[in-house]
Amino acid sequence: MKWFRIPKESTTPPTSGSYQDWKPQLADEGRFQCVYCAIHENNFGGTRNFHVEHYRPKSIARFRHLIDDFNNLYYACSICNCFKGNDWPNDPPSNPSIPLVYYPEPSKMDYNKLFVVREDWIINGQSVAAKYLVEKLYLNRPQLILERRSKFLLNRLEKEVKHLQLLSRRISGSELSIELKEFLYQKSVDMLSKAVSLLVQKESIRPYKAEDIEK
Ligand SMILES: [Zn+2]
């Protein structure tokens, strides 16, 4: 799962309607994934589980005029959208290196640069603002960790399968040695067991824990 900067400057805002009407365009602009946690709508119940997110919250009086401002709107999953709610700790500082708690603007910042993904698929914020984002939007919820892991595993399995196909083509016609048969067998079993273990976990995972709603 990868984040990316939303290129608002190259989007033509709609000329009619209001924010509720613009979800399809926001989804397209956001590549059909959540602007904050990067989960794709395929893995999270499709577009009905996604919201039109007001980056500057529409419930805050001084931002009310931005309610139908396309540049303030993003495509976000319902979980991130609910966790963020009306929260707005500070306006973004003019200098992004200032250590301040705020929400980095998705059209100005590539969120990929905000986080480091650890080996156990937990993400760490690289700045005060990024740490706050991880904490407040609970970007290490169980479902996201599993999605990161499964994305990585899928890429790896694709590579391994290609490698095995190449290997089997190379040796076709010649007799397989016992060692090679054993190697191919072990490799296949290893890949399958990883995939099965992941699928079993995905079957039983709850997207987030009940107590985390209180965070
Ligand atoms: Zn999300």
pLDDT tier, 173 (very low <50, low <70, confident <90, very high otherwise): low
Q: Which of 61-75, 162-176, 193-207 has the highest mean pLDDT?
A: 61-75
| pLDDT, tens digit, 9 for 90 and up, residues 44-79 | 889 999 999 999 999 999 999 999 999 999 999 999
- Across the chain, mean pLDDT equals 90
Which is more confidently placed, 98 or 177? 98
Residue 83 Cα, ligand 1 centroid: separation in angstroms? 9
pLDDT tier, 182 (very low <50, low <70, confident <90, very high otherwise): confident
Residue 41 Cα, ligand 1 centroid: separation in angstroms? 10
Secondary structure string (H, E, C) spanning 48-80: HHEEEEECCCCCCHHHHHHCCCHHHEEEEEHHH
| Residues less than 5 Å from ion ligand 1, measured at CB | 34, 36-37, 77, 80
The structure's pTM equals 0.84
Report helix, strand or coil for 139. coil
The Cα 132–Cα 135 span in angstroms is 5
The Cα 109–Cα 213 span in angstroms is 27
| pLDDT, tens digit, 9 for 90 and up, residues 124-157 | 999 999 999 999 999 999 999 999 998 888 888 8
pLDDT computed for residue 189 by the predictor: 87
| pLDDT, tens digit, 9 for 90 and up, residues 78-109 | 999 999 999 999 999 988 788 999 999 999 99
53 within 8 A of 84, measured Cβ to Cβ: yes
Percent of the chain with pLDDT over 90: 63
pLDDT tier, 163 (very low <50, low <70, confident <90, very high otherwise): confident
| pLDDT, tens digit, 9 for 90 and up, residues 13-56 | 999 999 999 999 999 999 999 999 999 998 888 999 999 999 99
Residue 72 Cα, ligand 1 centroid: separation in angstroms? 17
Number of H helices, E strands in the chain: 5, 4
